[in-house]
Amino acid sequence: MDKLRPVLRRDFPDFEPQHVFEAALPVYFVRLSVEVLEPQELTSFQAYMLHAIALEVNTPQEIAHLLGVDPRDITAPGTGLLHKAKSWSVSLQCAHANSYPVRGEDI
């Protein structure tokens, strides 16, 4: 233990060691299982509605029955989907207009 005194004086010059003793430090190994969630553009209800439509369940009553909810409960998510579809089509039209030559331009 006396071998540590010179090291302590060198590494901590402003401190005066009074007593040196052995100590045990617990070491833990932790294995984590982490799932990262990303923000989604669609709510869960909207995603389920799109899946239902992909399965050819097309009427509000059929979609509500498939999801096990009242038809009134799918009104807001359905409206949100329509608004998103409108903004997506505008975005696609703008992207389409910017990536292709306009009629009359040289190709």
Q: What is the pLDDT along the chain (107 residues), one digit of tens a residue?
A: 677 778 888 888 888 878 777 788 888 899 989 888 777 788 888 888 888 888 888 888 998 998 899 989 888 888 888 888 877 665 555 555 555 445 554 44
pLDDT value of residue 19: 78
Number of separate domains in the chain: 1
Cβ atoms of residues 74 and 60 within 8 Å: yes
Name which of 28, 74, 27 is nearest 49 in CA terms: 74
pLDDT value of residue 1: 62
* 97 token code pair: 């207009």
Task: Classify residue 35: in a domain, yes or no.
Answer: no
- Cα three-residue angle 71-50-95, rounded to 5 degrees: 130
Distance, CA of 93 to CA of 80 (rounded, Å): 20
Task: Classify residue 64: in a domain, yes or no.
Answer: yes
Name the residue range of residue 62's domain: 44-99
Task: Classify residue 54: in a domain, yes or no.
Answer: yes
pLDDT value of residue 35: 85
Task: Classify residue 5: in a domain, yes or no.
Answer: no
